[in-house]
Structure 1
Amino acid sequence: MPISPYIKSLRDVVGHRPLLLPGVTAVVFDDAGRLLLGQRSDNGRWALIAGVMDPGEQPAETIVREVWEETAVHVVPERVTSVLTQPPNTYPNGDQTEFVDITFRCRAVGGEARVNDDESLAVGWFALEDLPPISELVRQRIEWALVPGTGAWFSAPATRRL
């Protein structure tokens, strides 16, 4: 997967040290209730469409851009379903990251799902009862997106005594 010019400029300064990065994830449904997934080119796993925010970009703008860039599907973000910090990750080149992720439930409003860049091996719509193998975090994000209402899941702060 290509590295954004912004993150490359940070890496030029910090090297492989951990970067805390803002990211977004899309739980996209079509009118038939099917879920949009992409098979990642870096690890072959099926996942929700996700990406990193660019400087000056709003999270909802990022999710619209990322879904289009990766799948050629136009979406409308409907609501935030979770805010969380993902576990730390080390890439094969030694770069370390930790993503603060905002997950949006989105509705597809146009386009034809297809591989639209080099980040995916395949892209497709799946009925919820017929999903390919996915991680527990992906499954949890889908479940949060299916909960009616407008509240988003977040980890409650630990109680501290002063």
Structure 2
Amino acid sequence: MPVPDFVLELRRRIGHDLLPLVGVTGVVLDDGGRVLLHQRTDDGRWCTPGGILEPGEQPARAVVREVWEETGVKAEVERLVSVVSAEPFTYPNGDRVQMLDLAFRCRAVGGSPGPVGDESLDARWFAPDDLPEMPPRILERIRHARENRVEPYFVL
């Protein structure tokens, strides 16, 4: 995945120090309740679409943009489903980050899933009981999006 220019500029100033970032995740459901996933080009894993919030960008607009850029599906945000801070992570080059993830439940309103650009090898719909292997944090976001709750999930 390409590193946003603003992150590269920050890294020039802070080196490998811990950098807090805000990420957005789209849990996109179709009318049949299937979940939209894409297969990442960097590690080949299946996951929900998402990315880093750009400076000045609104989170709901960012998630719609990310879903389109990674899957070719047009989405509409329905609600915020979770606000969760991940544990700090160190990349192989030594860069340290800690992501605050805002996950949104979205519904598909157009487009067709498939590989788009250089971020996805594939994109397709999966039945909730037939999801590929994914990290627990992604499965948790999907579970929260499928729950009938008004308030977002967060950790106290």
- The two structures have a TM-score, normalised by structure 1, of 0.92
Q: What's 2:68 paired with?
A: 68
Q: Letter of the 1:70 partner, please give it.
A: E
- Structure 2, unaligned stretches of length 5 or more? none
SS at structure 1 position matched to 2:69: helix
Q: Does 1:46 align with 2:80?
A: no
The 1-side partners of 2:95 and 2:43 are apart by 16
Alignment of 1:32-111 (within 5 A): 32-111=32-111
Alignment of 1:82-161 (within 5 A): 82-156=82-156
- The two structures have a TM-score, normalised by structure 2, of 0.96
- Structure 1, unaligned stretches of length 5 or more? 157-162
Q: Does 1:2 align with 2:21?
A: no
Moved over 6 A (4+): none
The 2-side partners of 1:42 and 1:94 are apart by 17
The 2-side partners of 1:4 and 1:134 are apart by 25
The 2-side partners of 1:18 and 1:87 are apart by 11
Q: Deviations over 1:72-100 (max 9, x none)?
A: 11100100000010122112222111100
What's the RMSD between the two structures over aligned residues? 1.0
Q: What's 1:159 paired with?
A: none
The 2-side partners of 1:121 and 1:86 are apart by 25
The 1-side partners of 2:115 and 2:16 are apart by 30
Q: Matched residues, percent identical?
A: 48
The total of aligned residue pairs comes to 156
Q: Deviations over 1:33-77 (max 9, x none)?
A: 110011122222111111001111110010011011111111001
The 2-side partners of 1:99 and 1:150 are apart by 24
Once the two structures are overlaid, the 10-residue window that deviates more, 44-53 or 99-108, is 44-53
Q: What's 1:160 paired with?
A: none
Q: Look at both structures and tell me which one has the larger radius of gyration over its CA atoms.
A: 1
Q: Deviations over 1:127-155 (max 9, x none)?
A: 11111111111111111111113110001
